[in-house]
Chains A and B, each alone.
Chain A
């Protein structure tokens, strides 16, 4: 069996500068492509500041508050009261009766789509933007 000889093909890759292969249309497509990708990042990875916080208890929405007003919310969970602080466009779990304290360690959240969950006490908070584009928890 005769093997396929790659050598002449590899040789073709050697010559000339790269710019020699770009036609005007190629440059245009490349530019549009770069702009399009940047636009996708801007559109889909936006860091919009949240305006509201939605608090859930078990499978129900417990309350929705504006982030503009300072507030301390006491949510009666399964294990006890969870305290949520809202201030200056941010929200956090201030106190939780749970073991792990993961929710408290998440600290202040301020961007739309961010969420903190306390599984043991079944309390979660999710920050909402002006126009919430997606209908479930984002990761």
Chain B
């Protein structure tokens, strides 16, 4: 019998490792109670941003989408509304990052990308909430609250990512 083995590259290993960290952060967040339902720091996005700077956009998309699928499986939310919200947020923020990575690097750093991604993330989620989960005009009243949270946590995650990247020792992941 011939044993087939999937050939993995070094990059695959990096993606797997980083996705695992993102999943871990997602899990940690899942057990922290939130004062307002739906408002979460989005710590896993630190990993997403870090990967964008270190490995480029393709790896970022992998890590982000893997994180969404794996986390929802671990939390028992796969294909539930929570999963759909998570996915729509991740897809929209990836789109924002894809556009934002073309901004001049000299003046726009991780903080910019983090804030833009956070806004896109909540934008995608609110869009889905409005279209599918709560098709009611009252949803607009929640927008300012979520936008404030997105700005605050986007800023926080951006600073953390900036620190991770700029204080990186040479020859390190």
- 18 A-B contact pairs sorted by A residue (CB < 8 Å): A8-B172, A18-B159, A21-B110, A22-B111, A23-B106, A23-B108, A25-B103, A25-B104, A25-B107, A25-B108, A26-B111, A29-B115, A29-B116, A37-B151, A40-B147, A45-B141, A134-B140, A136-B138
Q: Is the interface of A mostly helix, strand, loop or mixed?
A: helix
The answer on a CB contact under 8 Å between A21 and B159 is yes
Enumerate chain B residues within 8 angstroms of A107, measured Cβ to Cβ: none
B21 contacts chain A at the CB level, 8 A cutoff: yes
A135 at the interface (CB under 8 A from B): yes
Give the number of chain B interface residues (Cβ < 8 Å).
38
Please indicate which of the listed interface residues A4, A21, A45 has the most CB atoms of chain B within 10 Å of its own CB.
A21
Name the one of A21, A37, A134, A138 contacting B111, with C-beta atoms under 8 angstroms: A21
Contact A9 B147, CB 8 Å, known A25-B112, A136-B136, A136-B137: no
Q: When chains A and B are docked, how far (Å) is the Cα of A21 from the Cα of B163? A: 7
Interface size grouping (class) on chain A: 20 to 34
A1 within 8 A of B: no
Minimum distance in angstroms from A80 CB to a CB of chain B? 32
CB pair B109–A26 under 8 Å, yes or no, is yes
Residues of chain B lying within 8 A (CB to CB) of residue A136: 136-138
* A34 on interface, CB distance cutoff 8 Å: yes
Using a Cβ cutoff of 8 Å, how many contacts connect chains A and B?
91
Q: Digitize A6-28: 1 where CB-to-B-CB distance is under 8 Å, 0 elsewhere.
A: 00110111011010011111100
Given contacts A4-B17, A34-B151, A44-B141, contact A15 B167 (CB under 8 A): yes
CA distance A135 to B138 in the complex (A): 10
- New A-B pairs, 8, CB < 8 Å, besides A21-B110, A23-B111, A40-B147: A15-B163, A25-B108, A26-B111, A30-B151, A37-B144, A37-B148, A44-B143, A138-B138
